[in-house]
Structure 1
Amino acid sequence: MKSEHDWNGGLRQELADWRTWAARALVVALAVLAGLTIVGFTWLAETASGWFEAMRLRAPWAPLLWTPLCAAAIVWCTRRFFPGAAGSGIPQVMATLERRVGERERGLFVSLRLSLAKIGLTAAGLLGGLSLGREGPSVQIAAGVMLQARRLMPAGAAVGVHGLLVAGGAAGIAAAFNTPLGGVMFAIEELARSPEQRSSGLIIAAIVLAGLVAVSAHGNGVYFGVIKAHQIGLALLWPGLLLAVLAGIAGGVFSRLLIASLSGTGADPLSRLRARRPVLFAAGCGLAVAAIGVATAGATFGSGYASTRVMVEGTGAMPVAYALFKFMATWLTTWAGVPAGIFAPSLAIGAALGNDVALLLYGTQMPALIALGMVGFLAAATQAPLTSFIIVMEMVDGHEMVLSLMACALVSCVVARAISPPLYATLSRLQLARLPPPEPAPNPPS
């Protein structure tokens, strides 16, 4: 046991180290700024979606022209000026955490410039009615903001670049979903491969603080409303197991399809067209997304937030085969090459699967099955079961379904792993292919 003298000496040493306190203050300030940035991004994205919806209601056929034009313009701008902003943003942050990515290469994946580009390009995608989410992009945006602390960090500070990237990426999830616990679990499960023990408490504090900034801006309400699931018991076992397997298969196929489409190695005519004429290919994908949206009376446009909330609250019904249509629209949007996240669309697809299984069983346990479908498909697509379970639990206030949600996430993830490799880890390796070749070693003197 330490003596009182040792304890007082340690306290004085801690208080006297100005570098430690300067680093802590800087991380806290950047966490608040990252949270505010995501709040602003959320407002811009929702405003863009609202403008598209207003246009669609005035001219229902307008998306057939507007959506392809937007997709082509976004892909041209991304490929010409901001290639590091393509995709969801999570693979870029994971790639930046690799040891072989140094200071010189880091800007290829995460930077303040890419964060600003990601905000504008993702909002443009929602303005065009493309089927994408803003949560994945929020990871790259917040990481880019948080990484600016390294320029001001005093020498010898405990928080390094790895800690800043983990804190920023997870803070983006926490602020985007209004789920601080989900952000912490995302950091542990997806990002923190070799966490810095000396600063782990500060990193978690930064993640939670960014989430609290979002709570302060949006209120303490749940993201999709409160799930009204009653009488959770053995009656849910077999429907829940059926749904978990179906969601696992669908999510595994979705993940494998995205990997195959984005790898650019396919020999089919469409893959060759994407490689040769990416802007034209994006316009074609945009036209297909618009046609699906028009056929479903606008249900598949955008992130799917409104559709998911309708199903969770039980205030409306979705079109027949909505899950399949949203699946196709999200895949085509991602394949087009626009900056796009898949979290929110995955939740919409999963909710629709749960809704369909409940209808197949004559409406039995519909609210509970919708929640299980959300967590099952998200866990299968991302192969991050703990993050998926906590995010969905916080978003629908489903604390009475903790064990059911956890079990569904684990079963769906196991099924998906038999179909597809992990989505984000695989895409992060594709991102690393953008690194410049290593410089050749100098020839030894003769």
Structure 2
Amino acid sequence: RGVVLGFAALAGLTVVAFTWLTEHALRLFSLLDAHAWWAPLLWTPACTAAIVWLTRRFAPGAAGSGIPQVMAALTPEVPHAARALFVSLRLALAKALLTAWGLLAGLSLGREGPSVQIAAGVMHNARRWLPKGSRVSEHGLLLAGGAAGIAAAFNTPLGGVMFAIEELSRRPEQRSSGLLLAAIVLSGLMAVSVYGNATYFGVIHIDNLSMDLLFPGLLVTVGCGLAGGLFARLVVVSLSGGSADVFTRFRQRAPVWFAAGCGLGVAVLGIVSHSDTYGSGYDHSRAMLEGHGDTSSLYVLLKFIATWLTTWAGVPAGIFAPSLAIGGALGNDIALLTSYVNAPTLIALGMAAFLAAVTQAPLTSFIIVMEMVDGHALVLSLMASAMVASGVSRMVSAALYPALAALQLRRIPPDAIPPPAASGGADAAAHPT
């Protein structure tokens, strides 16, 4: 118990340090952008190319969100030795530094997905210090570490627990032990001890809900479901490399130059949006919730494309925070379109709906948003929006993270996977793995 809880506290503090690093990296980029608006046209492509080169050369397991890597490591068929391809202290360090560099470059990415892989890498190392015969399994440590990353990154312990059950284990009937649940909450408390017990986006003020919310709320939910499903489908198709279009061939032949092109696209979008699409989108979302944000109708489209380009480039990058920003902006646009008086309500619904549509994890999405905005008065509305948006997304795209986890499993050398047990002579031989 002491080992598990000690590493849980360490995982939480590691995510806190990672959060501090990314915030300062984005602040430095903002200073550069304010000093010379044209600088990202050179700086962002150069940094993106360098990040992709370093990632592919020294830490290929650090590319992308980090959640698919943890899901791949949790796959029962993955041998113990191969898990280091997906989670380790070395990958955790590389993930932290390269993701922070991505924000220093102005790329549209979030830190929450990387936090999952970082915390899982720290918790996974606890297995070295557990006594023989311990009931805490390697699977349990990875599960707790991944959930602790969400809990500490968003300061949402309940969201971390639900993320472990709904997204990582993919078995809602499975319950983690009390010790592992305590580890998740303890990691979240590390963020509270440093940053205080403040919600991620502050507190929104909700008017008395009425039937007036039904039509605009339905527009937000369905719109986010379609847009989030489209985003997930684009990411899966882009990263799978299965198509034969000119961009896919260029990415396979010259990935570093392709990354530079994506970085240039992100810089152009940032200039067009007056710097709004750079970074995670946290400041823009908070400004909207407080009622003094930019209400440009182009933000949703530009942030959507910037986040997709960042992901397609192959840099270490999460999509949670950008998804919240896109969904919140879409909710704000519909509030203006329908003249709904309480825009923060639709913004919160949009956040939960778009995140649920992208991840197809509705329970995790609505709990995270509820905790982030202290929106307990909206709990049923958030739940309904997340559930409906996730259902709409399923008609557009396969689940994002399981599809990306399957791509991660391709990195395991064929000779590292043990052959399946024979189940019946010729029948077993006829269906080799």
TM-score using structure 2 length: 0.95
- Are the aligned partners of 2:61 and 2:91 in contact in 1 as well (CA < 8 Å)? yes
| Amino acid aligned to 1:172 | G
Matched residue SS, 1:261 = helix
Check if 1:216 corresponds to 2:193.
yes
- Are the aligned partners of 1:159 and 1:199 in contact in 2 as well (CA < 8 Å)? no
Runs of 4+ deviating beyond 4 Å: 193-199
Displacement of 1:317 in angstroms is 2.2
Instruction: Show the counterpart of 1:133.
Output: 110
Instruction: Show the counterpart of 1:334.
Output: 311
Distance 2:387 2:160 in 1: 19
Distance 2:297 2:140 in 1: 46
Q: Give the one of 172, 179, 191 matched to 1:202.
A: 179
Q: Residues 133 and 198 (structure 1 numbering): CA distance in 2 closer, same or farther, change over 3 Å?
A: closer
Displacement of 1:316 in angstroms is 2.4
| Amino acid aligned to 1:153 | L
Distance 1:151 1:203 in 2: 17
Check if 1:391 corresponds to 2:368.
yes
Please say which of residues 247-256 and 192-201 is displaced more in the overlay: 192-201
Instruction: Show the counterpart of 2:379.
Output: 402
Distance 1:336 1:59 in 2: 24
Check if 1:270 corresponds to 2:270.
no
Q: Give the one of 412, 421, 425 matched to 2:389.
A: 412
Cα RMSD, aligned residues only: 1.4
Q: Residues 212 and 271 (structure 1 numbering): CA distance in 2 closer, same or farther, change over 3 Å?
A: same
Matched residue SS, 2:414 = coil
- Are the aligned partners of 1:136 and 1:343 in contact in 2 as well (CA < 8 Å)? yes
Superimposed CA distance per residue, residues 326-371 of structure 1 (whole angstroms, 9 cap, x where no aligned partner): 0000000000000000000000000000001001012433111011
1:332-371 matches, cutoff 5 A: 332-371=309-348
Distance 1:316 1:103 in 2: 49
Superimposed CA distance per residue, residues 361-385 of structure 1 (whole angstroms, 9 cap, x where no aligned partner): 1243311101101000000000000
Distance 1:306 1:422 in 2: 28
| Amino acid aligned to 1:200 | S
- Are the aligned partners of 1:307 and 1:318 in contact in 2 as well (CA < 8 Å)? no
Matched residue SS, 1:147 = helix
Check if 1:232 corresponds to 2:209.
yes
Instruction: Show the counterpart of 2:56.
Output: 79
Matched residue SS, 1:273 = helix
Q: Give the one of 39, 56, 70 matched to 2:16.
A: 39
| Amino acid aligned to 1:122 | T
1:16-415 matches, cutoff 5 A: 24-193=1-170, 200-415=177-392
Displacement of 1:199 in angstroms is 6.0
Displacement of 1:315 in angstroms is 2.1
- Are the aligned partners of 2:111 and 2:317 in contact in 1 as well (CA < 8 Å)? yes
Number of paired residues? 418
- Structure 1 or 2, whichever has the larger Rg, is 1
Instruction: Show the counterpart of 1:13.
Output: none
Matched residue SS, 1:369 = helix
Q: Residues 235 and 197 (structure 1 numbering): CA distance in 2 closer, same or farther, change over 3 Å?
A: closer
Distance 1:196 1:77 in 2: 41
Q: Residues 36 and 196 (structure 1 numbering): CA distance in 2 closer, same or farther, change over 3 Å?
A: farther
| Amino acid aligned to 2:20 | W
| Amino acid aligned to 2:258 | F
Q: Residues 180 and 198 (structure 1 numbering): CA distance in 2 closer, same or farther, change over 3 Å?
A: closer
Identity within the alignment, %: 66
Structure 1 gaps, min length 5: 1-23, 442-446
Matched residue SS, 2:413 = coil
Distance 2:311 2:36 in 1: 26
Superimposed CA distance per residue, residues 200-256 of structure 1 (whole angstroms, 9 cap, x where no aligned partner): 111110000000110111111110111122121211111111110000000000000
- Are the aligned partners of 1:158 and 1:198 in contact in 2 as well (CA < 8 Å)? no
Matched residue SS, 1:148 = helix
Distance 1:363 1:99 in 2: 49
Structure 2 gaps, min length 5: 420-433
- Are the aligned partners of 2:165 and 2:171 in contact in 1 as well (CA < 8 Å)? no
TM-score using structure 1 length: 0.92
| Amino acid aligned to 2:142 | L
Distance 2:76 2:160 in 1: 23
- Are the aligned partners of 1:375 and 1:405 in contact in 2 as well (CA < 8 Å)? yes
| Amino acid aligned to 2:297 | V
1:435-446 matches, cutoff 5 A: 435-438=412-415
